[in-house]
Structures are given as structure tokens and as C-alpha cells.
Amino acid sequence: MDSTVTVTDNRTEKQYTFPITHGTIRAMDLRKIKAGPEDFGIMSYDPAFMNTASCVSKITFIDGDKGILRYRGYDIADLAEHCTFPQAAYLVIHGELPTPEQENEWLAALRIHMGIFENIKKFTEGFRYDAHPMGMLVSTMAALSTFYPDSKDVRNHDVQVKCISRIIGKIPIIAAYGYRHSKGLEYISPEPSLGYAENFMHMMWDRSPLEHLKHPVLARALDVLFILHIDHEQNCSANAMRAVGSSEADPFLSTAAAAAALAGPLHGGANEAVLKMLDEIGSKENIPAFIKGVKEGKEKLMGFGHRVYKNYDPRARMIKKTAESVFEITGRSKKIDLAMELERIALNDDYFISRKLYPNVDFYSGIIYEAMGLEAKMFTVLFAIPRAVGWLAQWQELINDPEQKIARPRQVYTGYDQRKLPDSYTYGVRTEDAVATTR
Ligand code: ACO
């Protein structure tokens, strides 16, 4: 079969044939379609990038209709079940699972960078007591850029490798310090001999009223949650990472920009909304009335539906499973039973069936985080810690892709045509104003 597409320009009746590669045509080919020699050529208009591939990537594969998510070819469920977060992070960054030697080197590199300058502690102390942890994370990540001027040399492979370890090593420290600051608790230094999630829990809970939550089963659950959140191809924050990174801003600044994108409620904040919704529903008897309201368009069933998944989000399945191990330690959350009943009713209702609305990653993640003692304000921060790995993999792929350039979309201009400046304006000062001041 010929992998080309032919279009006819009805303005000129000329035909153009373009190659189809990986199911795409080159948007630049459209520019060959011109109404006349002076014509700029056709562009595609795609607000929100609904149907535009911005890059070629080898990192993450999603089939939204089948509910498939793979990192570097491995199913997310297999990785979550059989790997540690650092192993999965190595895979996403390097493209292959680590050998034992590579894993040791990787862990050593992360350990070396699990430290933070004293000035950064002081920087964190400057935030108000009620500062949002995501705001603190974004700002502190950007501030780290000033400590590592070598990170500006983004095309240098050694710099790339070092910055990746620095950011993955430091992001849990920044997150935990932000939390401790908001609670008025002293900062706990990292303990690099611990596992990645275990160390995060150590920095969060040590010498605090929640010290009992430093539990190996909960640390493993967090490790699994971290794996599930590593990457999700060209989502809003990955796109921000690539857009800012394409200007050759250093990776700390690009990561700060990506984290800022994640902070929005349409991206990283839906799990918080699920908890609020479950609180409002209150008990199982109220579910039918709530569903009726959803179907009448009065509200949304939060944690359901996805732009890409038109099937069960595989991450939601894993989180549901992990929740059971958490509840064995923390006691069963009433919210999980309510959520499961809500899911059961929704998945049997034609409104949700016909629209292919299934639970997404956020439907169960807030419930499990809450059971682990993590408060709603921290949910997006917990998303950002593992997602930094995905952002950095996307960033490195972008920097090393010879086809990429600075990201610079086109626009369709619908404003005024050329206008003449009124005579009353001279050097930006309106003459009647100038007259008024001399009176
Ligand atoms: N509850 C009720 N109805 C819904 C829901 C929902 N959660 N989601 C979509 N629908 C309905 C829409 O009203 C629409 O119905 P219509 O065809 O009768 O008008 C239809 O399903 C299609 O929905 P769209 O809004 O076109 O889907 P889109 O891809 O634009 O939105 C989104 C996806 C934003 C995730 C949406 O499903 C939603 O708002 N869900 C709730 C919020 C949420 O859980 N967000 C987390 C996403 S996961 C993540 O970002 C990590």
C-alpha cells in the first residue's frame, strides 16, 4: 500500500502528494499548498494540540482505547509489581533496565546528589507558614539553577547526566522541606542509605507526630505510586518541559516550568477534588442521587474520564491494588469502599459506558495518599517527585534530537490590519496631556 496522501486544493485545482510516516504527515508539507506565488502556504490550526505530534519519542507508549501504558516497552503493571522506583527511573532515563553494576552506579549517583546547600534551607524558610507546597517546590527548583552555573551547558552529555542525578536526588528533599516548613518542624537531613521512597518518608515523618508512618509496607506502596507517575508522554507538564528546554534554559529552570504546569488543577490536582467529592457524597445511599446529578450535567464525577484513555486507566487498577496493602497497616479507609461502590455503579450506567468514562489515576490516588498520612496540599508535590524523571527523560530526548529547534508555534492573526497612530501621540505622550502639564 502506498503510504502517501493526496490533497486537492480547490482554489487552484492543483494536487499535492505527501508521504505518511508513523501515521503522520509533516505540517511543513502543508506549506507547499499555495494559492499563488506570494501566498504563505497552508498551516494547520490545532488549539490544545488535539491532533499534533510535537516530537518523535521512544520513552512512553499509551494506547488509550486499550488501556495500555508502557515505559520503554515494558507494561506499567509489570514495572510496578517487580521493580523499585530507582530501577524504573533508570529505565525511563537510559532506555534499558539497569544491570546490577549499573544499578549500583545509579544509586551511588543519586546518593551523592541527595544533599542541599544550607542557603536553600534559608530560602525555604522565607516562605509564609501557609505557602502552598507546589509554589515552594517550583520556586526552590528554579533557585537551584543559581547554584549550578555549569548546568547552562545543556548540550554537554556529562552535564546532562549530572543534572539528571542532581534533580532526581534533590526533589524529594525540597518537597519534604516545604512540608516541614509549613508544619513548623525542623528539617530532617536525607539518609541516603535508605531506599528512595523510604528516605522521603524519613525526611517527612522523622521527629514528627506521624513518625509511626515510617513503615516498610507504606514505603513500598509509595515506591509503586512513584513508578506509576514517572511519565505519561506529551502531557501538559512534559510539553512545558520541552518548550522551555528548547530555548536551552538549564534543566533546573525547565523542571521548575514543568512543575508549574503540573500545579494546575486540570493536570495534577484532580485527586484532591475526588476526596472533596467523596466527602460530599458521604455514604453509599447518596450515590444514586449524586450520579443522577452528574448525568443531568450538574457536576462531574471527578477521577473519571481522560483525554487519552477510553478504557480503564492501568494506573488506577494498580493503585486500587496497592491501596489494600496500605490499609492493612493504616486501617481501612471508609472512602475506598465508597469509591468502589461509586465505580461499580458508574461502570454499569449507560451514561458512562456510552462515553467511555472509566476511573483515571486520580480516582484512587488521593484516597491512598490520605491513608498514608499525606495531606491534600501535598498530592501534587507527590506527583512531581517521580514525574521529574519523566520530564528529564523528555528533556534529554529533546536536547539530543537533531530535528528539534526552539519551540515556536504559529498563530492565526485575527486582529486589526495596519492602523495609523493618531497625530496627538508624540514620543508616546499624547500632546493634550503634554499641554495640560505645562498649563
Ligand atoms: N463526569 C461526568 N461526565 C464526564 C466526565 C466526568 N468526569 N468526563 C467527561 N464527561 C462527559 C462530558 O460531559 C462529555 O459529555 P457530552 O458528550 O454529553 O458533552 C463527554 O463525557 C466527553 O468529555 P470531554 O469533556 O469532551 O472529554 P475531555 O477529553 O475533553 O476531558 C477530562 C477529559 C478533562 C479528564 C474529563 O474527563 C474530566 O473533567 N474528568 C474529571 C476530572 C479528572 O478526573 N481529571 C484528571 C484527569 S487524569 C490526569 O490529568 C492525571
Task: Report CA(288)–ligand 1 centroid distance (Å).
Answer: 19
Where does the pLDDT of residue 437 fall: very low under 50, low under 70, confident under 90, or very high at 90 and above?
A: low
Q: How far apart are the first and last CA of the chain?
A: 81
Alpha-carbon distance of 40 to 403, in angstroms, equals 22
Task: Report CA(269)–ligand 1 centroid distance (Å).
Answer: 14
Residues having CB within 6 Å of any atom of ligand 1: 267, 270, 294, 300-307, 355, 357, 360-362
CB atoms within 10 A of CB 411: 7
Specify whether 362 is catalytic.
yes
Which of 306, 337, 350, 401 is the catalytic position?
306
Q: Cα–Cα distances in Å, from 257 out to 4, 81, 186, 252, 429?
A: 38, 31, 28, 9, 37
Report yes or no: 271 and 303 within 8 Å, Cβ to Cβ: yes
Average pLDDT over residues 328-343: 93
- Lookup: cell for 186: 525542623
Backbone angles phi, psi at 7, to 5 degrees: -120, 145
CA angle 15, 21, 27 (to 5 degrees): 55
Q: What is the dihedral of CA 83, 89, 90, 94, to 10 degrees?
A: 130
Task: Report CA(305)–ligand 1 centroid distance (Å).
Answer: 5
The domains spanning 72-269+386-399 and 283-369 adopt the same CATH topology: no
Short-list 378, 362, 372, 383, CA closest to 273: 362
Where does the pLDDT of residue 433 fall: very low under 50, low under 70, confident under 90, or very high at 90 and above?
A: low
Domain ranges of the chain: 72-269+386-399, 283-369
Average pLDDT over residues 261-280: 89
Letter for the amino acid at 376?
A
Q: Is the pLDDT of residue 41 over 70?
A: yes
43 DSSP assignment: -
pLDDT at 273: 87
Specify whether 229 is catalytic.
no
299 DSSP assignment: S
Q: Cα–Cα distances in Å, from 313 out to 69, 241, 303, 319, 334?
A: 8, 24, 10, 10, 23
What does the pLDDT look like over 198-230, one tens digit per residue? 999 999 999 999 999 999 999 999 999 999 999
Average pLDDT over residues 268-282: 90
Residue 31: which H helix or E strand, with range?
A: none
Task: Report CA(139)–ligand 1 centroid distance (Å).
Answer: 31
Average pLDDT over residues 85-89: 98
The DSSP code sequence of 105-135 is: HHHHHHHHT----HHHHHHHHTS-TT--HHH
Backbone angles phi, psi at 75, to 5 degrees: -65, 140
Furthest-apart CA pair in the chain: how many Å? 84
Alpha-carbon distance of 205 to 136, in angstroms, equals 19
Q: Is 250 helix (H, G, I), strand (E, B) or coil?
A: coil
Residue corresponding to grid cell 551547558: 153
41-55, 261-275, 326-340: least confidently modelled range: 261-275
pLDDT at 275: 92
What does the pLDDT look like over 13-26, one tens digit per residue? 999 999 999 999 99
- State the number of CA atoms in the 13 A half-sphere of 409 facing the CB: 15
What does the pLDDT look like over 99-151, one tens digit per residue? 999 999 999 999 999 999 999 999 999 999 999 999 999 999 999 999 999 99
Specify whether 306 is catalytic.
yes
Q: Is the pLDDT of residue 434 over 60?
A: no
Phi-psi category of 95—alpha, beta or left, where left has phi over 0 and alpha has psi -120 to 50? left
Backbone angles phi, psi at 304, to 5 degrees: -120, 145
Q: For ligand 1, atom 29, name the residue with the nearest CA.
A: 307
Report yes or no: 288 and 282 within 8 Å, Cβ to Cβ: no
- Lookup: cell for 62: 499509551
Which of 267, 313, 423, 433 is the catalytic position?
267
- Give the per-residue SS3 of 219-241: HHHHHHHHHHCCCCCCCHHHHHH
Where does the pLDDT of residue 426 fall: very low under 50, low under 70, confident under 90, or very high at 90 and above?
A: confident
pLDDT at 429: 64
Q: What is the percentage of the chain residues whose pLDDT exceeds 70?
A: 97
pLDDT at 265: 79
pLDDT at 393: 98
283-369: what CATH class? mainly alpha
- Lookup: cell for 115: 544533599
Alpha-carbon distance of 8 to 426, in angstroms, equals 51
72-269+386-399: what CATH class? mainly alpha
Mean pLDDT (the chain, rounded): 94
pLDDT at 269: 79
Q: For ligand 1, atom 24, name the residue with the nearest CA.
A: 307
95 DSSP assignment: S
pLDDT at 235: 95
Alpha-carbon distance of 332 to 311, in angstroms, equals 27
Short-list 155, 170, 145, CA closest to 396: 155
424 DSSP assignment: T
Alpha-carbon distance of 63 to 61, in angstroms, equals 7
Short-list 253, 256, 124, 223, CA closest to 179: 124
